[in-house]
A and B are shown apart, each in its own frame.
Chain A
């Protein structure tokens, strides 16, 4: 990818992060760390890889972006708003009474939300079902299923993977947010998943791994996975840092499910704006 485009994606990820901070501040409750960690992956998906049209959210040919770990929906809403699915102003209604931006995504409320999610380990099954339908109808679109690594604790995820393999769903691209954090602490303490890549391989997946907070890697690894079609489901394990971009949030489990207060939000915005200046100074 040319440097100019890469730089633009980095700037978009930075915008999404700033929106996430503003949303969580306004909401006064919710999940901050996961959305920040996945901002780069979302920027690349919505503004580089996926075929979609904010003017026609129900367009049949669109790629499906299915968020299975619904609690990180702040990054989904920020992406949808940046893409034009909803006015940016509306982000401030997140988690408030009568908002379309529910605490966990609600399909019937907001166009662009492919499935309601929140109870973990279900969105992946829905995504597999969508991939089965696309195969049945010989449709060329891709189903992206975004998942948390803690979410992978759920047995239902592995039921979905078994079937994705059985039905040779090479139109499915699973993306795991491998931040090694869940609610009660670090994932390797709460319930060890490693060797995760080997598990996916044993389940019949083509497995890719990369740094999910390095935009160059995010872009190139997604490209590589998209080109790989071996009649097998694919997964990219994104190594990410929860809270990425805000130093006092980074890699700390407590930021899984709390919002910043006014002071913390101001400091977070300062850091993200400084990062923006750095990106803008990059040669393109």
Chain B
């Protein structure tokens, strides 16, 4: 572990858990107190996306628009062009796929200062099933010009990310989940948009992870060391765009093999971002842990992570496979 990052002391024993969306709700409220340009919109999902505290504190700066996501994105663009800093909130599916062209034209092409903050991304959404389990959003958002894409790994990192995207002038996408997830970072852990955090240093294989896969990546690294005497580096790529090529290349150079881990389709997300950089500058063997070009289904978050292979065990397996490719 990198001492300078001061990670959560209970991380490897009995991690405390909290939902990223709770961090969002708190940070949005604080942000609203500090900057009156901040406004929030929700599309009939206020409680789920945790905008209630903001709504209570700033009723006139909060807009419940009903189930009209397309309108919400367009209106957010309008608000932004008049000087507001709108946070448009809904589930990941309805905030990306449902409204993709609205984001593309009204937000990105206009370079409107809109923050799209979504929760319930990925299969860890659980029982609601495939219709709600967004697994293609990182690709959609990452390929849009002018978009910034952030995928925080825990509650506190989410809070820092909210502040960072608010300070950044331009469109931003913040991807959060529904479930409670381990606390990994602390108040002291640095967060800079576009700058990946090396959470653990290693020399044999580098695991590039984001979001809910950062925790399994870390415990996989511990197991690799204990059981296989393999030294694994773990890098938290919370920013998919701008993407930290420098840290990736440095890690690839040291380790010579990469494993990517993400709660997303195997195409177009973090794996793609890494492959794009490495294929151009430093061809390096890559293995991946991701969704295998399939839809999800109903089930508990844990059961789904197991069934779809988003686990520590799979990260270990892929790390060993990556090593064999060296």
Contacts and interface: CB of A to CB of B under 8 A. Distances in A.
Interface residues of B, number: 30
Interface string B58-69: 000000111110
A96 B299 contact: yes
B307 to A, nearest CB: 7
Contact of B66 (A70, A96, A119, A153): A153
Interface in B268-316: 297-300, 303-304, 307
B47 interface: yes
Chain A interface residue number, banded: 20 to 34
B131 A191 contact: no
Contacts of A154: 67-68
Given A97-B300, A104-B131, A119 B93 contact: yes
Contacts of A120: 67
A240 interface: no
B321 interface: no
Nearest to B126: A29
Contacts of B78: none
Contacts of A184: 42, 44-47, 64
B132 interface: yes
Contacts of A191: 44, 64-68
Contact of A102 (B42, B45, B67, B129): B129
Contacts of A29: 126-127
Nearest to A151: B67
Nearest to B67: A153
A260 interface: no
Interface in A130-154: 150-151, 153-154
A103 B98 contact: no
A30 B298 CA distance: 11
A102 B297 contact: yes
B70 A183 contact: no
Interface in B54-112: 64-68, 70-71, 93-94, 98
A96 B299 CA distance: 5
Contacts of B129: 95, 102-104, 106, 118
Greatest chain B CB density within 10 A among A27, A29, A154, A184 is at: A184
Interface string A223-258: 000000000000000000000000000000000000
Greatest chain A CB density within 10 A among B93, B299, B307 is at: B299
A88 B152 CA distance: 43
14 contacts: A29-B127, A97-B297, A97-B298, A97-B300, A102-B129, A104-B129, A104-B131, A118-B129, A118-B131, A155-B71, A184-B44, A184-B45, A184-B47, A190-B64
Given A95-B299, A97-B300, 5 more contacts: A29-B126, A118-B130, A119-B93, A151-B67, A191-B68
* Pairs A-B, 9 closest by C-beta atoms: A191-B66, A118-B131, A97-B299, A103-B129, A153-B67, A153-B66, A103-B298, A29-B127, A102-B129
